[in-house]
Amino acid sequence: MDKEFVFISDFDGTITKKDFYVHVLEKYLGEEGAMKYKRWRRGEFKDVEFLGYVFQNIGQNEEQIYRDIIELEFDPYLKNFIDFVYENNGDFIILSAGSNYYIETLLKHYGIEDIKIYSNRGIYRDKGIHFDIDPTYEFYCEKYGINKKKVVQHFKSKYKRVYYAGDSRPDYEASLLCDLVFARGKLISLLEENNINFFPFANFSEIKDVLINSFLG
C-alpha cells in the first residue's frame, strides 16, 4: 500500500463525548436498563449481548432515533483531523464495537462521508436498532461482535505505521499492536497499569499537534 500510515480510531467516547448506549440507557430504559447494566458489569452478559439489548429496546421510530443520535456531543476537530491525515499520505479508519448504524448517521450529519468503518452492522426494525452480525466474518468476535485486535493486525501488514485512539477496555489489546497510542477514559488506566507509553488527549486537535510536532513534522 502506498500510504505512509493509518490512523485507527474508536468511536463511542473517543469521537463522541458519551457512548450512544449510555445516551439510550439514560433516556429510555429506566430501572430495567439500570439493572441490566449492573448485571453486565458483573460479567453476566457479553458486551454484544448487552448492547444488543439496549439498542433493540429504544422503542422509538426511526426519525426519533435519528434525533437521539445527533444529540451526541461530537468532536468538532474530527473533520479537520481527517483532512490532515489524508494530506499527509495517511488513511483514517473507524473501528467500533458499537454499530455502523449510528456511526454513519452521525458522521453524515457533520458532513463526513466515505470513511471506512469496521463495526457491528445494525438495522432498524421494530422501533430499535438490531445487530446483524455474521459469525463467519473474518473479524468476528463472540464477546464484542468485532475483534479490534484482528483488525489492527490486518492493517499492520499494509501500512508502515499504525496510530490508534481509544477510550476503553475493548481498545486495549488492539492498541498494544500500534506504533503510537492516544488514550482517554478507562484506556489510560489500563495502559498505565501495564507501563505502556501513550499520549492522553481531550480532542483530535491535540492529537494533530502531537503528530505534527513529533512524528509528521
Write down the pLDDT at residue 171: 97
Distance, in Å, from the CA atom of 111 to the CA atom of 164, rounded to the nearest integer, reads 23
pLDDT score, position 2? 75
Contact 96, 42 (CB under 8 A): no
Kindly state the cell numbers that stand for 149: 485486535
Q: What sign has the CA pseudo-torsion 115, 150, 166, 70? A: positive
- The C-alpha atoms of residue 118 and residue 100 are separated, in whole angstroms, by 8
Instruction: Classify strands 128-131 and 122-125 as parallel, antiparallel or unpaired.
Output: antiparallel
pLDDT of residue 1: 54
Per-residue pLDDT of the chain in tens (217 residues, 90 and over written 9): 578 899 999 999 999 999 999 999 999 999 999 999 999 999 999 999 999 999 999 999 999 999 999 999 999 999 999 999 999 999 999 999 999 999 999 999 999 999 999 999 999 999 999 999 999 999 999 999 999 999 999 999 999 999 999 999 999 999 999 999 999 999 999 999 999 999 999 999 999 999 998 766 5
**What is the SS3 string spanning the chain?**
CCCCEEEEECCCCCCECCCHHHHHHHHHHHHHHHHHHHHHHCCCCCHHHHHHHHHHCCCCCHHHHHHHHHCCCECCCHHHHHHHHHHCCEEEEEEEEEEHHHHHHHHHHCCCCCCEEEEECEEEECCEEEECCCCCCCCEECCCEECHHHHHHHHHCCCCEEEEEECCHHHHHHHHCCCEEEECCHHHHHHHHCCCCCEECCCHHHHHHHHHHHHCC
Q: 194 vs 62, 85, 93, 171, 187, CA distance in Å? A: 43, 29, 26, 14, 11
